[in-house]
Amino acid sequence: MIGRREFLRNSLLAGVGAIIAKKFKPLWPSEVAFAKSSKQVSRPVLISTWRQGIAANEMGFKVLSEGGTALDAVELGVRTAEDDPKVMSVGYGGLPDECGHVSLDACIMDWNFNAGAVAFVQKCKNPVSVARKVMELTKHVFIVGEGADRFAKLMGFPEVDLLTDEARKRWLEWKRKASPNDNWLSPEENHDTIAMLALDKEGRVAGAVTTSGLAWKIHGRVGDSPIIGAGLYVDGEVGAAGSTGVGEAVIRTCGSFLVVEYMRNGMHPQKAVEETLKRVLKVNKKWIDKDPNFQVAFIAVNLKGEIGAMGLRKGFQYALYKDGKNQFLDAPNLI
């Protein structure tokens, strides 16, 4: 039976939810383009960041067609980017840190708040699958560094040298051009993490994020991508959100969690990503103003299959599989 205190708390929360939902009724210009799709439920939906999202969505759709769940779709979807050495911001072939070491971060989450994450992985090319093992086979959520590599090995993942000749060449060029006056405050142009969200036919929602992080980062740096709540968040009753861009800015705002909370309070996913980017801008203004390349972007999906995608600045692109079509699209921008 529900206790009095719990009843009062629930009524209070419901009241606040209703007020917020009312205040944020969808009337914004950025929603107009999405209004059509909001009329009915559309499933399945797959949404992934950047160009590598096209292949990820294709794989995700194949997995769903063969009876896989949203969770299988995102894991196997993002692995296409991890395995592709031409994608130099994810997995094998990713650009290294300032010392020439490639380190990978990833996380995965399902519709039941099950989550797994790994960071600073240096010997395994599929950190997203290691993250899934953390989620399914341990009582932990997050394993990092040497421990994550050790765990991966124990799980049977082969040890791999992640640094390709091409990535090494790019690192050497960067080193040659680096000046002693460079600081670590300016983020790199390389921010093409893959974040992928899936909503399957049954209404199960899941997400995965995997990255080699910012190029030439300080050895040991971890961004938002493997952090549940920052780079990814999934709530089976609401939807999911994921991010790409300068991870520090997303960590400061718990970005993906915030997107999902806005959706919980009644916002359309497009409005939710827009409001979250406004928060990111407010909180990180002193860094953003100084750097014209400072980019942060979010994708989101709710249980109806409505989606949101937006970049802080122009240039963010994403792949959307919806209504039987896999499209590569330009997202709107906030500033």
For residue 242, how far is the Cα from the chain centroid? 3
- Answer yes or no whether residue 97 interacts with ligand ASP by CB under 6 A: no
- Answer yes or no whether residue 89 interacts with ligand ASP by CB under 6 A: yes
221 has binding-site annotation? yes
246 has binding-site annotation? yes
- Asked about 193 being catalytic, the answer comes back as yes
- Answer yes or no whether residue 130 interacts with ligand ASP by CB under 6 A: no
147 has binding-site annotation? no
**Contacting ligand ASP (CB under 6 A), which of 80, 244, 270, 276?**
244
Angle at Cα 47 formed by Cα 45 and Cα 52, nearest 5°? 135
CA-CA distance, 264 to 311, in Å (whole number)? 21
68 has binding-site annotation? no
CA-CA distance, 188 to 246, in Å (whole number)? 8
Nearer to ligand ASP, 44 or 247 (CB): 247
CA-CA distance, 298 to 310, in Å (whole number)? 6
93 has binding-site annotation? no
Q: What is the DSSP letter of 333?
A: B
Task: Go through the chain and tell me how many residues it has.
Answer: 335
Sheet hosting strand 296-302, strand order edge to edge: 232-235, 239-245, 296-302, 307-311
Q: What is the DSSP letter of 244?
A: E
**Contacting ligand ASP (CB under 6 A), which of 214, 319, 320, 331?**
214
Contact between 326 and 57 (Cβ < 8 Å): yes
- Binding segment toward ligand ASP, per CB under 6 A, in 78-86, 147-155, 187-195, 278-286: 187-195
Q: How far is the CB of 47 from ligand ASP (least distance, A)?
A: 15
Nearer to ligand ASP, 68 or 223 (CB): 223
- Answer yes or no whether residue 223 interacts with ligand ASP by CB under 6 A: yes
Q: How far is the CB of 53 from ligand ASP (least distance, A)?
A: 12
Site string for ligand ASP, 47-86 (x = CB under 6 A): ----------------------------------------
In order of 94, 163, 266, 314, 318, the CA distances from 34 in angstroms are: 34, 41, 15, 19, 15
- Answer yes or no whether residue 207 interacts with ligand ASP by CB under 6 A: no
- Answer yes or no whether residue 125 interacts with ligand ASP by CB under 6 A: no
Cis amide linkage into residue 29, ω under 30° from 0: no
- The first and second tokens of residue 141, run together, are 């959520």
**Contacting ligand ASP (CB under 6 A), which of 72, 75, 224, 275?**
224
> At 161, which amino acid appears?
D
**Contacting ligand ASP (CB under 6 A), which of 48, 122, 129, 193?**
193
CA-CA distance, 231 to 127, in Å (whole number)? 15
- Answer yes or no whether residue 247 interacts with ligand ASP by CB under 6 A: yes
Contact between 231 and 248 (Cβ < 8 Å): no
Catalytic positions: 193
Which residues are annotated as part of the binding site for substrate?
Answer: 221-224, 244-247
- Which residues make up the interface to ligand ASP (CB under 6 A)? 89, 191-193, 211, 213-214, 223-225, 244-247
